[in-house]
Amino acid sequence: MPSRVLRRAAVTAAILSGPVGWVTAAAWGLPRALGAHRRRLRPVVTGSSRFADGKFHNTLPTPAIAPANTRDGLLRQWHEERHVGLPGGPIPLAASEIPAEAGDLAVTWFGHASALLEVDGHRVLVDPVWGHRVSPSPVFGPTRLHEPPMPLEDLPPVDAVLISHDHYDHLDLPTVELLLTAQAAPFVVPIGIGEHLRKWGVPEERIVELDWDGEHRVGGLTLTCTEARHFSGRYFYRDTTLWASWAVAGPRHRVFFGGDTGYHPAFAGIGARLGGFDLTLLPIGAYNDAWHAIHMDPEEAVRAHGDLGGRLLLPIHWATFNLAFHRWAEPVERLLAAAGQRGVDVVVPQPGERVDALAPPPLRDWWTAVGSAADAPQPTSSAGLGASTVARAVTRLLSLRSR
């Protein structure tokens, strides 16, 4: 009898080892990746004019997407329609040719919202994400569609690192850890995000937290924290840190970095007060009717560029991660159609390509050859149910850990 019990236990352990092992791996390192707890954040953020009733608020009433759990079927949808936003082939990368001295006005786009700005001889790194997966888990969540165009350690010294908000595709723990040793620049962030950085070992002297309309000077640049329409949170709790866009102003040139935002009337006020902008970096991807208020579509990006008094528009927040259900190339196709109707100058670099914004190159179509996986027939699969089951297990484990 004991041997039969042992054999049954061994069989049961073997059956469970796969899912249990997967769940354990998925949860590895979560407490650190999630960032600062809301109890730790509360003393820091309560002084903000945007903070009330225990959370930050947009100026306009703004519904956001539901939390990432299977009660509304979101994880199942991510799995079953995951191919729609994939590229049809390899995404070409450009060799990042960054000069020893910063230029008057240039930008190197690394993909998604990550870019290196050169403004009047200074360098500003915005929303740097070099990690493989934008998720708190090492095995669960969206992965990169292309490799980083260059090693983060090869970047020249920068004067500041700007962060727009604390979502994983904009604030990346592995990248922050690399920047701690590879750079000496301050992290200039919306209020509350400094607590994430402190938890991750960033020294106090390298953290600058600002509310909307707050300013910080770095050399000859003025960095202004400006309004955005979005939300925040690194899984369990929402809106515990502020979200923002940024204006970077030098003695001669001005750049606007949109980060991640829905369209809002404040763009016009920002343009009137701080613009016009020689260059705008505005999000054009990951749009959907379900979260229209927090993500601009390409036509709204063109409208925002006009509100800001922009001269040259560089689209961001597309191409690098599969975060929505539109075709991979659709954002840039719609952007160019809308920009053409309004006579807006647009530059669409390959990931890794540096653009001289004072003498931008002719528009070169590199995305059509890549195409979208959604344009090709997709094989049917029954794997969705299994993946959704595992996703439910991970979600349950995370909810238990939060109590």
266 burial (CB, 10 Å; 0-12 / 13-18 / 19+) is: buried
Return the pLDDT at 397. 40
Q: What is the mean pLDDT of residues 167-186?
A: 98
Return the pLDDT at 140. 82
Return the pLDDT at 389. 37
Where does the pLDDT of residue 137 fall: very low under 50, low under 70, confident under 90, or very high at 90 and above? confident
Q: What is the mean pLDDT of residues 327-332?
A: 97
Q: What CATH number did the domain enclosing 285 receive?
A: 3.60.15.10
pLDDT in tens, 59-78: 999 986 655 443 444 555 55
Lowest-confidence range among 101-110, 138-147, 380-389? 380-389
| Side chain identity, residue 122 | H
For residue 101, pLDDT beyond 50: yes
Compute CA distances 288 → 48, 74, 294, 296, 343, whole Å. Answer: 30, 13, 10, 9, 26
Where does the pLDDT of residue 80 fall: very low under 50, low under 70, confident under 90, or very high at 90 and above? low
Q: What is the mean pLDDT of residues 379-388?
A: 39
Between 141 and 281, name the one with better pLDDT.
281
**Which has the closest alpha carbon to 255: 297, 223, 283?**
223
Residue 61 lies in domain: 1-403
Where does the pLDDT of residue 382 fall: very low under 50, low under 70, confident under 90, or very high at 90 and above? very low
Residue 160's SS3 state is strand
What is the rounded CA–CA span in Å between residue 275 and residue 249?
Answer: 9
Where does the pLDDT of residue 79 fall: very low under 50, low under 70, confident under 90, or very high at 90 and above? low
Where does the pLDDT of residue 9 fall: very low under 50, low under 70, confident under 90, or very high at 90 and above? very low
Between 372 and 374, name the one with better pLDDT.
372
Give me the chain's average pLDDT, please.
86
Return the pLDDT at 117. 99
Residues ≥6 apart with Cβ < 8 Å to 18: none
Return the pLDDT at 16. 43
358 burial (CB, 10 Å; 0-12 / 13-18 / 19+) is: middle
Split into its structural domains, the chain has a count of: 1
pLDDT in tens, 258-294: 999 999 999 999 999 998 999 999 999 999 888 899 9
Return the pLDDT at 375. 81
DSSP string covering 215-250, please? Answer: EEEETTEEEEEE-------SSSSSSSS---EEEEE-
Residues ≥6 apart with Cβ < 8 Å to 238: 55, 64, 67, 231, 232
pLDDT in tens, 17-65: 555 454 444 455 578 889 988 888 989 999 899 999 999 999 999 986 6
Determine contact, residues 73/80, Cβ cutoff 8 Å. no
Where does the pLDDT of residue 398 fall: very low under 50, low under 70, confident under 90, or very high at 90 and above? very low
Q: What is the mean pLDDT of residues 327-333?
A: 97
For residue 381, pLDDT beyond 70: no
Q: How many CB atoms lie within 10 A of CB 98?
A: 18
For residue 13, pLDDT beyond 60: no
What is the rounded CA–CA span in Å between residue 393 and residue 386?
Answer: 11
Q: What is the mean pLDDT of residues 222-232?
A: 98
